[in-house]
């Protein structure tokens, strides 16, 4: 039974046996076709259950449009022009509304609603026109998310076994992580007391090694300023004819304390140069990481609370691999957070996902990303 509504009601109801019993749609062509595809082709085996419902719905919507559009894109069977025009106009209007929301500051381009509507619009146009028609529908997304969306669409379009589950899990991990870092100091302290090996969902493990911190950081030694109060007197001020109220010495660091994470993989260049440059950083928590193979790696805590290691330890290998666990560690540390990297994440099953995740953290202002050539303060 098909019931057409004058409002925005759109849904498909299934009986206990999995057979569709009712279709509810507005009068526009796209949603009539969309719910009809659900009625004919959505089966229990395609429903991904262990992800947020909104993710499962978007993935199934995209799968339907990519693989079951009623008029296959071929010379003998094309979408009727009147339907093509109406559907294309509907999609364009929807994206224009999203663009207006972004311009008005109501939502950001890297957030879930923009991604969800964009990837679904791309699947619709792909279903009608074939490959190449979807690119314009992803224009609102940052470049890293555009690449991620196209990979998701390609996997769904292949219609291979497990494609929906693979894509749904990747999207859920990116937009709805199950264990986001807490900003509560108490919870962070409990997290630090856990064993120093982190097991990622991808099966990658990272050992966290805290090096012996025996040397004072340069910022701790040299970061001083003249102030109107303090525990130490600035003696040259006593020789002035009139005493200045600013006659005390207080510590002042060149940059606020925070956390700096350094990608020490081979693509970052000479690791000895990286070690040398780390010594010039302000009083912050500084760590560097590298991985081996596709399963494990190390993160070394080099500086903390104004103290640093006398000599860094060179990792046993110069791969990436543990970019994801290293980002998890960074997000559990104090802000401001900076990562020095060339963004060349690789070696792990989720490396592409972590590239997109880093771009989203950067867009949200949670992390500052710098290339190592300009990410350190050097002293010539």
| Residue pLDDT, tens place only, 351-371 | 889 999 999 999 889 999 987
pLDDT band at residue 377 under the 50/70/90 scheme? very low
**Nearest-angstrom CA–CA distance, 227 and 325:** 42
- Is the pLDDT reported for residue 189 higher than 70? no
| Percentage of the chain modeled with pLDDT above 70 | 76
- Check residue 310 and give its pLDDT: 85
- Check residue 231 and give its pLDDT: 57
Ranges of each domain in the chain:
43-175, 185-217+254-370, 224-251
Residues 92-140: tens digit of each pLDDT: 999 999 999 999 998 999 999 999 999 999 999 998 887 666 678 999 9
- Check residue 55 and give its pLDDT: 93
- Check residue 226 and give its pLDDT: 53
- Summary mean pLDDT of the chain: 81
Question: Residues 329-346: what's their mean pLDDT?
Answer: 91
**Is the pLDDT higher at 251 or at 327?**
327
Residues 135-179: tens digit of each pLDDT: 789 999 998 999 999 999 999 998 888 899 999 999 998 998 753
Question: Residues 31-58: what's their mean pLDDT?
Answer: 88
Q: Which of 105-109, 113-117, 246-250, 322-326 has the lowest mean pLDDT?
A: 246-250
Question: Residues 30-57: what's their mean pLDDT?
Answer: 88
- Is the pLDDT reported for residue 186 higher than 50? no
- Check residue 306 and give its pLDDT: 80
pTM listed for this prediction: 0.73
Q: Which of 76-85, 117-126, 192-201, 228-237 has the lowest mean pLDDT?
A: 192-201
Question: Residues 9-26: what's their mean pLDDT?
Answer: 88
- Is the pLDDT reported for residue 235 higher than 70? no
End-to-end CA distance of the chain: 78
Residues 55-64: tens digit of each pLDDT: 999 999 999 9
- Is the pLDDT reported for residue 44 higher than 60? yes
pLDDT band at residue 88 under the 50/70/90 scheme? very high
pLDDT band at residue 234 under the 50/70/90 scheme? low
**Is the pLDDT higher at 254 or at 211?**
211
- Check residue 284 and give its pLDDT: 83
Q: Burial letters for 14-29: b for 16+ Cβ neighbours within 10 Å, e otherwise? A: eeeeeebeebbbbeeb
**Nearest-angstrom CA–CA distance, 316 and 250:** 41
- Check residue 208 and give its pLDDT: 93
pLDDT band at residue 314 under the 50/70/90 scheme? confident
């Amino acid at each position: 039974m098909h019931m057409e509504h004058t409002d925005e009601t759109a849904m498909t109801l299934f009986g206990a046996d999995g057979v569709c019993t009712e279709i509810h749609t507005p009068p526009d062509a796209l949603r009539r076709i969309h719910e009809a595809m659900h009625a004919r082709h959505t089966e229990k085996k395609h429903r991904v259950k262990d992800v947020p419902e909104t993710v499962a719905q978007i993935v199934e919507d995209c799968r339907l449009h990519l693989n079951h559009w009623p008029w296959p894109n071929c010379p003998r069977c094309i979408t009727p022009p009147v339907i093509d025009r109406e559907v294309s106009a509907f999609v364009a209007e929807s994206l224009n509304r999203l663009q207006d929301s972004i311009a008005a500051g109501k939502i950001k381009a890297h957030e879930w609603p923009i991604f969800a509507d964009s990837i679904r619009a791309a699947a619709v146009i792909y279903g009608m026109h074939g490959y190449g028609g979807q690119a314009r529908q992803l224009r609102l997304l940052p470049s890293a998310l555009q690449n991620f969306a196209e990979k998701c669409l390609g996997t769904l379009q292949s219609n291979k076994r497990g494609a929906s589950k693979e894509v749904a899990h990747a999207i859920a991990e990116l937009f709805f992580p199950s264990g986001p870092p807490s900003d509560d100091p108490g919870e962070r302290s409990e997290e630090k007391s856990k064993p120093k090996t982190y097991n990622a969902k991808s099966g990658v493990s990272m050992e966290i090694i805290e090096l012996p911190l025996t040397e004072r950081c340069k910022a701790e030694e040299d970061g001083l300023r003249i102030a109107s109060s303090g525990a130490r007197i600035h003696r040259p001020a006593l020789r002035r004819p009139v005493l200045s109220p600013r006659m005390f010495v207080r510590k002042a660091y060149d940059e606020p304390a925070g956390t700096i994470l350094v990608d020490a993989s081979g693509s970052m260049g000479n690791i000895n140069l990286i070690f040398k440059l780390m010594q010039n950083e302000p009083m912050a928590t500084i760590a560097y990481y590298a991985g081996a193979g596709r399963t494990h790696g190390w993160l070394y805590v080099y500086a903390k609370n104004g103290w640093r290691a006398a000599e860094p330890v060179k990792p046993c290998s110069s791969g990436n691999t543990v970019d994801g666990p290293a980002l998890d560690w960074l997000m559990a540390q104090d802000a401001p957070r900076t990562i020095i990297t060339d963004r060349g994440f690789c070696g792990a099953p989720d490396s592409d996902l972590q590239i997109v995740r880093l771009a989203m953290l950067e867009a949200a202002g949670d992390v500052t990303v710098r290339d190592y050539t300009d990410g350190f303060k050097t002293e010539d």
